[in-house]
Structure 1
Amino acid sequence: MAAWPYSTKAWLSLRKAKLSDQPLCEACLRREVVELARAVDHVVAINKGGDPFPPLDGLMSLCFPCHNSKTRRVDSADSKGGSRFKGCDVNGNPIDPDDDWYA
């Protein structure tokens, strides 16, 4: 686990609350795939101005593959931007609500 804020009691409590509120991966659910969430991710990364301890709707419950993909594509310092998540739902719509093609 990384350093502050992830090593604090406040983060561990917030993480537990988010996983209790939404135990399944939110990105996978948009694909109609049921996958247990193991990570809690900031919708807006701290290094991009996000609140370290946001309300629950400022966090996403994600499986590790979705978390790693979002971090690599959006949150990392050298990211080129784009959709947080690749793929479409069963109706052909992008699963990322921030995608330009999202209906």
Structure 2
Amino acid sequence: MAKQPYCVECMKQGIVRRGEIVDHIKEINDGGEKLADSNLQTLCRVCHNRKTALERRKRALNNG
């Protein structure tokens, strides 16, 4: 988070909000690299929860 202290998803919408969570862009369960900088991003809690819920729904549909 030192490299990017603000939520990248909020910034896309023109909102400046401090990030709280270092998120895996591609989840580890989906084959994402655990510690690769290219697979990490800073998100606020709201954006992280939204992204995680969406990814879980997609995974459930693909496995169901």
Tell me whether the two structures share a fold, i.e. TM-score over 0.5: yes
Query: Does residue 80 in structure 1 map to residue 58 in structure 2?
Result: yes
Larger radius of gyration between Structure 1 and Structure 2: 1
Cα RMSD, aligned residues only: 1.2
Structure (1/2) with the larger helix percentage: 2
What is the aligned counterpart of 1:68 among 40, 49, 56? 49
**1:36 maps onto 2:36 in alignment:** no
What's the TM-score, normalizing by structure 2?
0.85
Runs of 4 or more consecutive aligned structure 1 residues displaced over 4 Å after TM superposition: none
CA distance in structure 1 between the aligned counterparts of 2:43 and 2:24, rounded to whole angstroms: 10
The structure where strand makes up a greater share of residues is 2
Structure 2 gaps of 5+ residues are 60-64
Aligned sequence identity (%): 36
Higher relative contact order (CA 8 A, sep 6+): 2
Unaligned runs of 5+ in 1: 1-18, 82-103
